[in-house]
Amino acid sequence: MKNKTIYFSMYSIKNQGLLFVFLFTIAISFGQKEKFKGQPPIKIVPTTSKPVQKQWKGDYNFPDHGITFSNTFDGARLNGIIQNNDSTYTALITSENTPVNMSPWYAFKVWGNSKQTINLVLTYQESIKHRYYPKLSYDGKHWTTLDSLRYEAIDKGDETFGSRALPKSVKLQLDISPDTLWVAGQELQNSHLVNSWMDSLTQRSYITKNTIGSSTEGRPLNMIRVGKKTPKNMIMIISRQHPPEVTGYLAMKAFVETLSSDSKLAKKFRKTFTTFVVPLMNPDGVDGGFWRHNAGGIDLNRDWANFNQPETRAVKDFMEGVVAKHQGKFYFGIDFHSTWDDIYYTVDPKLKGNMPNLVTDWLEQLKEKIPGYDPNISPNDNLIPTAVSRNYFFVKHGAEALVFEVGDNTSRDFLKTKAIMGANALMKLMLENIKTIN
C-alpha cells in the first residue's frame, strides 16, 4: 500500500521543491557508498579446546590432461578436487571446524605438461559462500588479481553488501603451463614470510626479535621490540588472530615500518616509547589454512578473559611481566583485522585510560588527512568480560585501545598510505600527550 501511495504522489506532484528534494535524495543514495555498520555485539563463548580437522596434503594428479593441483605449502586450503569434463574441474574448500564464520580461505598450486586453459569451479561446505577474490602468483610472493573477465559468480546473493551479496560458488578461467601458478583467496602471508619480515627489521640496532611462547602445535610466538631495552612508556600491536585477515596484516606491517623508520619523528618517538609487536598471533591457523580458529579450535579473539589458549596466554604473560619488571605502562594497544570494509572498533571515549581521548583524536586526524575518507567508528562501553584483545588492553592495562579493521578489498596501496599516515599522526599525538602526563 505504502509503495503505491508514493508512486501516485510522484506523478501528481506539483511542488517543484519537493521533486527536487526527492531527486536529490535519489542522487545521494546512488552516489554514496553504503557505510559498513559493523558486527553485532560479540557473544561470550567457552574457549576450552575443541578438535580441528587438518587438511590432507599432497598432489591431485589428472594424468589424462597432464594437470596437477597441489596444496603442499603453508596457508589456506584445498580439500578436494574432481574433473568434470575435458576443461572443467571442481574444487572443494572446507573449514577446520564448525561453527565458523564466512571466511573460506582457499589456495592451491597448479601446473600442466602443456599450455591449456581450464575452468575451475570453487565450491564450499554447506551454507558457506565464496568471499575472497582470486589472486594469482608465479612465485608465491608477488600477486595480481584475476582478470574480471575470467571470473564468473554463480548463484549470487541479492544484496549489495556483506555476506548476503556473496555468490555460492565461482568459476575461474586459468591458463595452465609448466610454470607453477598459485591461486589464492588473499596473498599468502604464512609464518615463513612473516618471520622473514621480522628478521629483516632486526637489522636495525633498536629492533630485537624474541619468542614469548609456543602455539598449540609448538610453533614459536615471535615478538619484536622497537625501541628501548628498559621500557617505561609502551605500546602493544598484534595481528592475525584470524588467519585469512591478510589486509589487516599488511596495514600492520606498514604501520610498524613507519614506527621503525629513520624519520625524525620516529627517532624522537622511540626515545620516549617502546613498541612491542606480535604480528602473527595464530601461526598454526595461518599455516594450517584455518578460516578462523587456532589449532585448539578456538577463536583466539574470544579468549582474552579466560586465557585457555597458549597464544593469548603468552601475550598476557608478556604484558603483565614487562609492566611488573620495569614499572612501565601501556598507553596504546591496537589489534589489526580484516572485514567487509574499513571500520574501527573503539572503547567508548567516556571511559578514560592512561592517555584519555587518544584514539578519538587520532581517528579524527586520520579522517582529516585523507580527503573523502569517512570510515565507521564503532565505540563500545561493554568491556567485561574482557574476551577480546581490545578490552583486555584497556581494562587490565589502561591502554587506549582499538580494533583496526581493513576491508578485504581495500586497495593495497591505500591501506599502506593510511597505515603510514596513521602511524605518523599517532606518534605526534602521543609525544604531545605524554608531556602533560609525566
Residues forming the site for Zn ion (CB under 5 A): 242, 245, 337
Q: Nearer Cβ to Zn ion, position 242 or 418?
A: 242
Catalytic entry in 96, 187, 400, 405: 405
In the three-class reduction of DSSP (H, G, I as helix; E, B as strand; rest coil), residue 309 is classed as coil
Q: 287 or 405: whose CB is closer to Zn ion?
A: 405
CB 170 within 8 A of CB 152: yes
CB of residue 378 to Zn ion, shortest distance in Å: 14
Orientation of helix 264-272 relative to helix 412-437, angle to 10°: 50
Q: How far is the CB of 365 from Zn ion (least distance, A)?
A: 25
Residue (4 or 43) nearer to Zn ion, CB:
43
Instruction: Write out the three cell numbers for 30.
Output: 546512488
Q: DSSP string covering 243-307, please?
A: TT-HHHHHHHHHHHHHHTSSSHHHHHHHHHEEEEEES-S-HHHHHHT-SS--TTS--GGG-TTT-
Sole residue written with cell 619468542: 211
Q: For the CB of residue 350, give the shortest distance to Zn ion in the complex, in Å.
A: 26
Q: Closest approach of Cβ 387 to Zn ion, in Å? A: 13
> Minimum distance from CB of 297 to Zn ion (Å)?
16
Q: Smallest distance, Å, CB 433 to Zn ion?
A: 28
Q: Which of 245, 361 has the CB closer to Zn ion?
A: 245
**Residues in the chain, how many?**
438
Tell the residue number behind the cell numbers 619488571, with chain if given. Answer: 325
Torsion, Cα 82 83 89 92, to 10 degrees, reads: -10
Strand partners, 404: 336, 344
364 closest CA partner among 411, 421, 416:
421
Active-site residue, 364 included: no
C-alpha cell of 224? 619484536
Least Å distance between CB 300 and Zn ion?
Answer: 9
Q: For residue 293, give the C-alpha cell.
A: 580458529
Distance CA 163, CA 287 (A): 25
Backbone angles phi, psi at 322, to 5 degrees: -70, -35
The contacts of residue 282 (CB under 8 Å, 6+ apart) are 215, 240, 241, 242, 243, 290, 294, 300, 311
Phi, psi dihedrals of residue 161, rounded to the nearest 5° = -145, 150
Catalytic residues: 405
